[in-house]
Structure 1
Amino acid sequence: MSVFEERFATYRQQHLGLIGKLIYREESEILDLFPDSESAAEVVKDLEELASSSGLQRKLTKIALNQLRIQPNDKVSAIEVCGGSCWLLRSLLLKAENTGLRINAIGSDISQRHIETNKEEFGNMNIKWAIADATDLPYPDVHFDLALNCQALHHFPVDMVIKLLTELKRVAKKVLIFDLRRTFYGPTFVRLLSPFYSKSFINDGIISHRRAYSIQEMRFIIELADLPYSVTPFTPVGMLVESI
């Protein structure tokens, strides 16, 4: 166990509280165990559907577009990592086209299946697809204007979270991350969605909400590693992690 992991484990133990101890579980999801399976594909599909129907996609797209608009050039670059179907990047490109903003876009994921599916389904979009490890990206420093990441931080232990945040800040001027935050009502919310989504998605969704970092924990991680990020609540069950 690294120094970061030891210090975080101590912090979590001291700050979980009674409700936190009842909610928190560290389990693996289908996306972790079988990333190239049919079940994982169901989870990715349902994640995008929920993001669209809940308004999350629209809200994040607006924030991302505003970040690109403040760049000095009329042609900017963006990458999404751990993207699955890269629904945020695709939404950003469609919205940008309507405003005349041109984006050089790369959609990436570590799963070959997800990337091959994206090539087939979204081959008409101006996106380069790449199989890539988000903690070790094959791009030079400050290569992108914006790096995006959605609902992935809770899949990683502390050391990997720090590596991912460090790597995204290295390759991009601005980093925008959305992830779940651990709440006592999150798992119940997912169970209520059971009639509308796949069993695979409900399984992973409940685990995600139980294992997610809290706002306080994520702030502690950033302070621990001395990273230039801010953390703010976003939606009833989420948080934004943004470079500063």
Structure 2
Amino acid sequence: MNPARDWVFGRLDTTRAWADLADAGINYSVTEVRRPTWNIDTHRKELPSERPGEPEPEGSWALACRLVHDYEFSPPEIVRALYDPATPLLGRDMLLEARFHMMHFYCGVRITEVVDETRDNGDRVWGWAYETLDGHLERGKVTYEVVKHQHSGAVEFVASSYSQGAPTLDRITFLGWRVFGRRTQLRFYRRCGERLRAFVEAGLRGERVPAGPPLRAGRLVCAPTDAAAHRWDALALHRVAPG
């Protein structure tokens, strides 16, 4: 058996770290969220358009929804996720690996909302949101949506969020967050949109998206599928639940 497919996050016991999330709670209250102490962001990326009207069965919107469902849009050089694909999307726990150069932080999130609606303005929207759990280096919520503007046929990916660094970060993590945190956060959202557009374009050309099986740890899968295990991951500084 290939050890890299068991230890998908370097030397971390990923199965145990993921299982521990079941006992974690949301680490903030929405009543706390306000500027200027919280970052409130909306990032949009135009995707290939369709004809006006309902989403096309094999079109841009449907393909983007599938990729968003499986967290394939996440740039593996910044954030990877481990989860059980057999669990329902709503309520699913995900162990995230945030990669800041040679510092790897392992934090839990829980999917607390699934969006599947046609809005009053005619937009067809599908997506989901996760919130941060106890021990996360951040506090907040991120919502990922695929939107088809049915009047025009335009399709876009929208990531909206509110967040702040956890006030309980240990000294090493706090220094890493101060140096890399906000800059990496903004790069993450930009890369998410770029990757999703590239994958949708490839899928519409008839290419297999994603290509190949994901890394696995038992019944858990690592997303995105193109995340690769590297020998030097074992040399990184690993911090589990740093907040």
For the superposition of Structure 1 and Structure 2, which TM-score range results when normalised by the shorter chain?
Answer: under 0.3
Higher relative contact order (CA 8 A, sep 6+): 2
TM-score by length of 2: 0.26
TM-score by length of 1: 0.26
Higher helix share: 1
